Structure 1
Amino acid sequence: MRLFLLAFLWLLPAWAQGGGEYLLGRVLLLETERGLAQVEVGGRVEWAQLPADGGGFRPGERVLLYREGGRLYVTEPDRLPWMGLLLGLFVLLATLLGRGKGVRGLMGTFLSLLVVVYWVVPSVAAGGNPLLYAFLGSVGVLLFTIYLVHGVNRKTTAALLGTLLSVAFVLFLALLFTRAMAFTGLASEEALLLRQWGGVDLLSLFLAGVVVGTLGALTDVSVTQAAVVQALSHANPRFGLGELYRRGMEVGYDHIGSLVNTLVLAYAAGSLPLFLLLTKDPTPLRFLLNTEPFAAEIASMVLGSLGLLLAVPLTTLVAAWAFQGGKGGPGEGHGHAH
């Protein structure tokens, strides 16, 4: 959700970004008492203003600078080289351990991010309905992640349909409960900033973020369940829809048990600073949880987890219909084991 909002902010029109200039430089000398740093930028040596807390910068460190109104400010350390190293390690391990599917998974992830950042976000920034473009973008993301990684066949089509049905249910529940709880969409600093610029339906943007945030986990669940039903069908081609669904759900119940807390923990990990306020704020817990930032975070967790729960029976039902009577080619095995 927050990555979705940050991408939205990044791709806002230039007039909304201010008239300053971002630069890359290197710290030569620190004078923390004066709050200044001597930096090399563009082949010149200049003095730049440090953050109020000093920023913890070191001589020789590469930093990001911001020039506005003739003044130069040190803003952040240059983190991209380390991020590149970390991503390179991830790509290397995914390729070595996942082999062909690992490479296709990386390609699917890259193409999915392109859909979100370069189509969904610009469409919303241009005034499009966030819910509509989030749903259409979800279809594009799922086509890349499911068909590219696992191929075009009955199993992947059943997984795709099960995931789309789950996304539709999550959207319906999100619309129902966010309206019932009178959410405004102003649950984060990013949303408050967007409100100042105007032109964006913040509640729909919040709902779109919930949907986008669940797609990865939903894909994992649906492909695995479809593979289970496929294996059952080819183990006994006489199984009809009802029997395939019943036997597939025997595995699905275990799947649900292991996944029920997946998104809750994922969302909670990203919201630890917010939850830490529970221990610092003197407001009674009953009233603090009622505020929109807390209520919206909890709603995101629950809605995402509901999507996971719904994906298991929905995908199992679609796959049972697709594979009843031993339809389809030979079994391809499970997507993975839990």
Structure 2
Amino acid sequence: MSSLGALILLLAVLMTIIGGETGIRSFFSVLINTLLLILVALLISWGLNIPIITLIFVPLKLVTIIFLGTHDYTVAKNSFYASVGVLALVSLFITGIQYLAQAAGLGPEAGEILLGHSQMPGISYEMIAITVAVFSALGAVAEAAVSMSSGILEIKKAKPGITEEELLKSGSAIGYDVLGTAMNTIIFGMFGSFLSLFLWYYRLHYSFGEVINDKLFVNEALIIMYSLMGVLMTVPLATLLLSRGMSRRKDEAKKNDGNQEDSTKEL
């Protein structure tokens, strides 16, 4: 067995032991998402329309991430709606910024690897950059939405009589913690994956201007900004959707109880 296969098996065992049924579902969610990413890459390489592929696979990935990794349907549904709304807004922002940045395509670091090969494969590098940015922000947005929805729902279960205003305040308090951990995860994840390139810049004596204008650095920095913006928008939107939904269901329940009482009196 290869080291990768051993690590996958160990991950499956640990997720099963710690998470039980939810852990098993989350493990299959990871596998399905990996297969979806491979399928996206294949479809793009075959020349299919990239925006249509993105529109189809973004909801599919959200469904597998959220519904397979969450045991509560209310949390999953609210997280899905919040994630879709945030990603729609972030996608518009990504499209505009990618057009202004003009950072799509291959950087000079890939020159030796691609020497003798065509760098014009007939695929839009701009659309690929937008798709990569959307999929990169998707994970952070879904995680923040699930964290917020789970926290608010637990507060509602612990205090059934809590008002919508109090629930929004509690959601804001939870949001501060979610924002702090999510931002640290995104930033340190970027530095961890980008460390070798930073060493490249240092050993080749890149100036500050050359670093901030390098395509690889610009793309990575923009992806971080998109993810952070997505998390920032997810926190209030997920809180608002869930609190409003709970208040609406509470009002409907009171209305139904009142109708039942009136029917009983008439009898």
Give the TM-score normalised by structure 1: 0.66
**Residue 217 and residue 184 in structure 1: after superposition, are their counterparts in 2 closer, same or farther (change >3 A)?**
closer
Q: Shift of the alpha carbon at 1:214?
A: 3.0
Instruction: Identify the residue that residue 129 of structure 2 maps to in structure 1.
Output: 206
In structure 2, what is the Cα distance between the partners aligned to 1:102 and 1:82? 22
Task: Map residues 325-336 of structure 1 onto 2, 5 A cutoff.
Answer: 327=250
Instruction: Identify the residue that residue 20 of structure 2 maps to in structure 1.
Output: 99
1:176 maps to amino acid:
G
Task: Indicate yes or no: 2:63 matched with 1:139.
Answer: no
Instruction: Identify the residue that residue 83 of structure 1 maps to in structure 2.
Output: 4
Instruction: Identify the residue that residue 270 of structure 1 maps to in structure 2.
Output: 193
1:204 maps to amino acid:
M
In structure 2, what is the Cα distance between the partners aligned to 1:275 and 1:287? 12
2:17 maps to amino acid:
L
The answer (yes or no) to whether the contact 1:143–1:160 under 8 Å persists in 2 is: yes
Instruction: Identify the residue that residue 262 of structure 2 maps to in structure 1.
Output: none
In structure 1, what is the Cα distance between the partners aligned to 2:168 and 2:246? 10
Task: Indicate yes or no: 2:183 matched with 1:253.
Answer: no
**Residue 149 and residue 301 in structure 1: after superposition, are their counterparts in 2 closer, same or farther (change >3 A)?**
closer
Task: Indicate yes or no: 2:25 matched with 1:108.
Answer: no
Instruction: Identify the residue that residue 244 of structure 2 maps to in structure 1.
Output: 321
Instruction: Identify the residue that residue 158 of structure 1 maps to in structure 2.
Output: 78
| Partner secondary structure for residue 186 of structure 1 | coil
Q: Shift of the alpha carbon at 1:205?
A: 0.9
Task: Indicate yes or no: 2:98 matched with 1:174.
Answer: no
Unpaired runs of 5+ in structure 2?
252-267
State percent identity of aligned pairs.
21
In structure 2, what is the Cα distance between the partners aligned to 1:232 and 1:97? 24
| Partner secondary structure for residue 119 of structure 2 | helix
Structure with greater strand share of residues:
1
Task: Map residues 275-286 of structure 1 onto 2, 5 A cutoff.
Answer: 275-286=198-209
Runs of 4+ with >6 A deviation: none
In structure 1, what is the Cα distance between the partners aligned to 2:46 and 2:228? 31
Instruction: Identify the residue that residue 130 of structure 1 maps to in structure 2.
Output: 50
How many equivalent residue pairs?
Answer: 246
Q: Shift of the alpha carbon at 1:222?
A: 0.9
Higher-Rg member (1/2): 1
The answer (yes or no) to whether the contact 1:170–1:307 under 8 Å persists in 2 is: yes
CA-to-aligned-CA distance 1:222-261 (integer Å, 9 cap, x gap): 1121122223334144523x44223211111121122212
1:239 maps to amino acid:
T
| Partner secondary structure for residue 295 of structure 1 | helix
The answer (yes or no) to whether the contact 2:148–2:238 under 8 Å persists in 1 is: yes
2:38 maps to amino acid:
V
